[in-house]
Amino acid sequence: MTYTNIVFDKEDARITVRAYFACTIENEIKAVLVVGPEQSCKAAFANMNTGSAIITVTGGYAKRCDFRYTRRHQPLPTKWCAMMILSKDPRCLWNDDPAGLIAGMKRLTETPFLDEWEPFLRARLMKGGHLVKFKGKQPMGSFLNITTEELDAIVVDGIQRKLINLKGMS
C-alpha cells in the first residue's frame, strides 16, 4: 500500500506523518488516515486543529478545515498508531450510497423530499456542481454544498417537468 507524506512545519519543529488516504476539496483537507509513532499522530491532529503549522501534502500546500476535526485512534501492535482524522464540516458525506446523500440533504436543508427521489436528486446535484467527489490520495466520500433554496428549486423543477411525483419516481 502506498502513502503520501504530510509535513507540519513550525518555527521550531517539523512533523512528518504517513497518510494512506487523504480527502481534499479545493486543497482543503477534509479527512486523512495517518499512521506513525503515536506522538507524531497526536501532534498532527493538534496542528490541524490549532492552525499552528504550515501543512504540505506531497510538496503542495494544504489548508485546514474551518470546522476543525475529530479523530478515531487505533493503537497498533508496535509503538505506532493509526489515526483517522475527519472534518466536522456537515457538508462532508463519508458514504456515497443513497442513504448517505439523503442524510446529508436532510442535515443541510429543510426541503421536503421523498427518499425515492434520490437518483433524480443525485443526478441534478452532480450536474449543478453541488455534489462533488473528494479528490486526493485514494479519496472516498463526497462534498455536498447546497442551500434549502437551491434544493427547493431542483425539487420544484422535477415536479413541474413530471420527472418526480409525490408517489415517487414516474
Nearest partner of 24 among 157, 136, 158, 106, judged by Cα: 136
Q: What is the mean pLDDT of the chain?
A: 92
Q: Are residues 18 and 60 in the same domain?
A: yes
Q: Are residues 63 and 103 in the same domain?
A: no
Domain that holds residue 160: 92-169
Q: Would you say residue 170 has pLDDT above 60?
A: no
| Residue range 51-73: mean pLDDT, rounded | 89
Predicted structure pTM score: 0.88
Q: Would you say residue 69 has pLDDT above 90?
A: yes
Q: Which of 87, 113, 146 is the last residue of a domain?
A: 87
Q: Are residues 55 and 125 in the same domain?
A: no
Q: Are residues 73 and 107 in the same domain?
A: no
Q: Would you say residue 92 has pLDDT above 90?
A: yes
Q: Are residues 83 and 124 in the same domain?
A: no
Give pLDDT, residue 51: 81
Q: Are residues 114 and 61 in the same domain?
A: no
Q: Are residues 25 and 69 in the same domain?
A: yes
Weakest-pLDDT range from 9-18, 83-92, 96-105, 141-150:
9-18
Q: Would you say residue 168 has pLDDT above 60?
A: no
Per cent of the chain over pLDDT 90 is 77
Q: Which of 38, 67, 87 is the last residue of a domain?
A: 87
Give pLDDT, residue 169: 52
pLDDT digits (tens, 9 = 90+) for 7-27: 999 888 889 999 999 999 999
CB 57 within 8 A of CB 16: no
Q: Which of 87, 107, 127 is the last residue of a domain?
A: 87
Q: Which residues contact 47 (CB under 8 A, 6 or more apart)?
A: 8, 10, 15, 53, 55
Q: Would you say residue 2 has pLDDT above 90?
A: no
Number of domains in the chain: 2
